[in-house]
Amino acid sequence: MPNRIVIAGAGFAGVWSALSAKRLISFHGKDEDIEVVVIAPEPSLVLRPRLYEANASGMTHPLGPLFKDAGISFIQGTVETIQTEDQTVKARLVSGSTSTIKYDRLVLAVGSTVSRPGQVTGVTEYTFDIDALDSATKLEAHLQNLASLPSSPGCDTLVVCGGGFTGIELATELPKRFPDAQVVLVENGSEIASGFAPSSRTVIQKALADLNVEVKLGSSVTSIDGDGVTLASGERIETKTPIWTAGVRASPLTNQISGPKDNLSRLHVNENLRVPTSPNVFATGDAACARADTNGHHALMSCQHALVLGRFAGHNAAADLLGDQMIPYSQPAYLCCLDLGGYGAVIATGWEKELKLQGDVAKGVKTLINQQLIYPPQNVEEAMTAAHPIGPDSDQLLDQLLAVVA
């Protein structure tokens, strides 16, 4: 029986884990000795960074042809149980039956889910989100239906709860799609875009103002029902569309792996993305709390980091079986590109997110990222070349994108 690397999940980290593992296995001529298996609900990549855009239901990319050409096996199902002692995962298949799959190395690329705090009454029952394809599609259908209803404060007001990256992108996108609606962005903190440097924050604040997005700062949501949102101050906002964008947490599957986790339930990993307490398990993407540089920064729960984390995790899982040298994960350069809807976009550099570019040029870069850069190549040779862990960093990629935009 060949050895088997199981990749749990087919998001950005999972896809690139599989391709990177297969690249190294093929390089060593060991395709008959080590099998790469991906387990995921669908043989498609959900373009999660684009779910704030219109037509969210179409934001998927097929993986079947690429996996077939690469010699990567695919099991359509959802991993429910991980047994590290006997090195098995149990998956619920689309038929409803379960299957137990043995692994020699497991790459946990199960991503994250939107975090709804239990202390907010009605948050589970009444809020929409854009965390996953089905929930973003549900919101899209709801918004389209609102257009057929009579005008009212509840129908004409869209409330985005959470002023982080996702909340800002959605709040600035909605006025373009629904110009007659009032968009309200509710943020618990004392300032919007608090994670950005003042130079970037000023542009973001101006974009929100120019797009007529009402911003409520220092306003925590206490309850939500079918007719509106209530804030801690007692203020009531009538809305049929409360959208929750206030944070995510790693998949609950991380709790089935012993070992320390951060406050987002991400597994602490070593420099090779191995889980120290379960040496045959590698965690990647949003499931991993990984040190990105020597200055104390850790990878963020972002597509930018998932793309690179996946390449390292897959390579190192295969290298471990092959007796090859593992490559320590490192991603010191950081570039943030924030869509601001009709206002344009902001490109911020460094972990402090200092302003680099804004306006139409930044928007052109963001469009290239969303429509081209995050997609895996269709050609298997190109995909295998791109799967090497060592590639251009974000600063180098920006130079390449600017050359195209120019």
What does the pLDDT look like over 133-146, one tens digit per residue? 999 999 999 999 99
What is the rounded average pLDDT of the residues 148-152?
92
Q: Hey, do 3-114+248-333 and 133-244 end up sharing a CATH topology, with the first three levels equal? A: yes
pTM: 0.96
Question: Which among 334, 339, 337 has a CA at the least distance from the CA of 347?
Answer: 337
Distances (CA, A) of 404 to 165, 345, 367, 391: 25, 17, 11, 19
**Domain boundaries in the chain?**
3-114+248-333, 133-244
Q: Which two tokens stand for residue 245?
A: 């964008």
Q: Quick: pLDDT tens for 197-239.
A: 999 999 999 999 999 999 999 989 999 999 999 999 999 999 9
**How many angstroms separate the CA atoms of 328 and 292, rounded?**
10
% of the chain with per-residue pLDDT over 90: 98
Q: What is the pLDDT of residue 325?
A: 96
Average pLDDT, integer, range 91-108: 97
Q: Is the pLDDT of residue 406 over 90?
A: no
Query: What Rg value do the Cα atoms of the chain yield, rounded?
Result: 22
Per-residue pLDDT at 279? 97
Task: Write the DSSP assignment of 234-263 as a string of letters.
Answer: S-EEE-SEEEE-S-EEE-GGGGGS-S-B-T
Residue 115 banded pLDDT, cuts 50, 70, 90: very high
* Per-residue confidence (pLDDT) for residue 379, from 0 to 100: 98
Q: In CATH, which of 3.30.70.1450, 3.10.350.10, 3.40.50.170, 3.50.50.60 is domain 133-244?
A: 3.50.50.60
Q: At what angle do helices 303-322 and 12-27 cross, to 10 degrees?
A: 30
Average pLDDT over residues 158-173: 98
Domain 3-114+248-333: CATH architecture, name and number where available = 3-Layer(bba) Sandwich (3.50)
pLDDT digits (tens, 9 = 90+) for 257-307: 999 999 999 999 999 999 999 999 999 999 999 999 999 999 999 999 999
Report residue 182 as tokens. 């009032």
Higher pLDDT, 200 or 247: 200
From 154, 155, 137, select the one nearest 146 (Cα to Cα): 155
**Half-sphere CA count of 203, side-chain side, radius 13 A:** 23
Contact 284, 105 (CB under 8 A): no
C-beta neighbour count of 2 within 10 angstroms: 10
Query: Nearest-CA neighbor of 195 among 362, 355, 352?
Result: 352
DSSP string, 265-317: -PEE--TTSEETTEEEEEE-GGGEE-B-STTS-B--SSHHHHHHHHHHHHHHH
DSSP 3-state assignment of 201? helix
C-alpha to C-alpha distance for 306 and 292, rounded to whole angstroms: 12
Q: Average pLDDT for residues 243-264, to the nearest whole number? A: 97
